[in-house]
């Protein structure tokens, strides 16, 4: 009888030992997998010189509040449903036939060099839309120093889960998560999605000198890139893009006060 009890105790000990060993192996495998994922999708390996310059400017962003300045109808430059004070009289008008379409107004010197210009285009997408594209159709699998974004990574879902719906939301979120450090308890999907988002940003975001948030009668932002002032105004489902060259910030911001965007349908 005592021998049977002893054998039963030994059997129970063996079962408990197997369970403990099994749990240790599972925990070890889990931690090893997470360490592998964290290392594979490490943000520090990204080539981000231009992207970091963008974030540096964004961190020092300024704000400009637009207010309506009336202009006589005859003094407007008009393109589709956009009107802005015409300081481009006598400039050569050229239609843009590449992506997005639009129009440019250029001033040339005697050598045939462009000394001043304005480009206007209206698009249905902006930076946030590029990030929300279906990964399989837009980027597929991106290789970056031997690391690829898996096709099943849904950056759009990641953005939506974090309430990122506009360009300004996107820039703020990129800035917030740029140095994000995951741990072994962070889900693999979050690690992959965060990496994919920043890889896309490192490819897409330009190196800029200054970032200005625009509010008031218009909402959007302006990015200063050397002699270029790139303005993006969001209204409804459309983005109104104006790129100024050889104009000071003050001149561009003053012109934005004269900007009129009339209602336009996508149909």
Rg over CA atoms, the chain: 27
Tell me the three state secondary structure of residue 128.
helix
Spell out the residues 6+ positions from residue 160 whose beta carbon is closer than 8 angstroms to its own: none
Helix (H, G, I), strand (E, B) or coil at 93: strand
Could you give the CA distance from residue 89 to residue 131 in angstroms, rounded to a whole number?
38
What does the block give as tokens for 110? 């005697």
pLDDT (tens digit per residue) in 100-135: 789 999 999 989 889 999 999 998 878 888 777 654
The Cα–Cα gap between 36 and 28 comes to 12
Distances (CA, A) of 95 to 79, 101, 120, 210: 11, 7, 10, 29
Give me the residue label for tokens 């974030």. 55
**Do 232 and 167 contact (CB within 8 A), yes or no?**
yes
Q: pTM (2 decimals)?
A: 0.81
Residue 153 confidence class, pLDDT cut points 50, 70, 90: low
The SS3 of residue 107 is strand
Going by pLDDT thresholds of 50, 70 and 90, the confidence category of residue 141 is very low
Q: Is the pLDDT of residue 151 over 50?
A: no
pLDDT digits (tens, 9 = 90+) for 226-252: 899 999 999 988 999 999 999 999 999
- Report which DSSP code applies to 10: H
Give me the chain's average pLDDT, please. 85
pLDDT cut 70: percent of the chain above it: 87
């Amino acid at each position: 009888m005592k021998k049977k009890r002893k054998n039963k105790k030994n059997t129970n000990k063996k079962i408990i030992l197997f369970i403990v060993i099994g749990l240790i192996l599972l925990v070890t495998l889990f931690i090893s997998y997470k360490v592998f994922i964290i290392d594979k999708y490490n943000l520090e390996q990204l080539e981000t010189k231009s992207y970091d310059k963008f974030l540096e400017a964004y961190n020092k962003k300024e704000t400009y509040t637009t207010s309506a300045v009336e202009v006589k109808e005859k003094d407007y430059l008009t393109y589709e449903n956009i009107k802005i004070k015409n300081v481009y009289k006598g400039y050569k008008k050229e239609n843009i036939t590449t992506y997005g379409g639009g129009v440019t107004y250029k001033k040339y010197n005697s050598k045939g060099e462009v000394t001043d210009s304005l480009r206007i285009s209206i698009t249905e997408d902006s930076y946030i839309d590029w990030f929300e594209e279906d990964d399989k159709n837009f980027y597929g699998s991106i290789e970056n120093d031997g690391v690829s974004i898996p096709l099943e990574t849904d950056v759009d879902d990641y953005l939506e889960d974090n309430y990122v719906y506009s360009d300004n939301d996107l820039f703020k979120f990129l800035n917030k998560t740029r140095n994000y450090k995951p741990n072994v308890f962070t889900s693999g999907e979050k690690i992959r999605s965060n990496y994919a988002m920043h890889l896309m940003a490192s490819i897409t975001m330009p190196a800029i000198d200054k970032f200005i948030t625009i509010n008031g009668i218009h909402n959007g932002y302006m990015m200063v890139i050397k002699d270029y002032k790139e303005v993006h105004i969001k209204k409804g489902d459309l983005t109104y893009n104006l790129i100024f060259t050889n104009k000071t910030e003050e001149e561009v911001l003053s012109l934005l006060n004269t900007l009129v965007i009339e209602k336009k349908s996508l149909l």
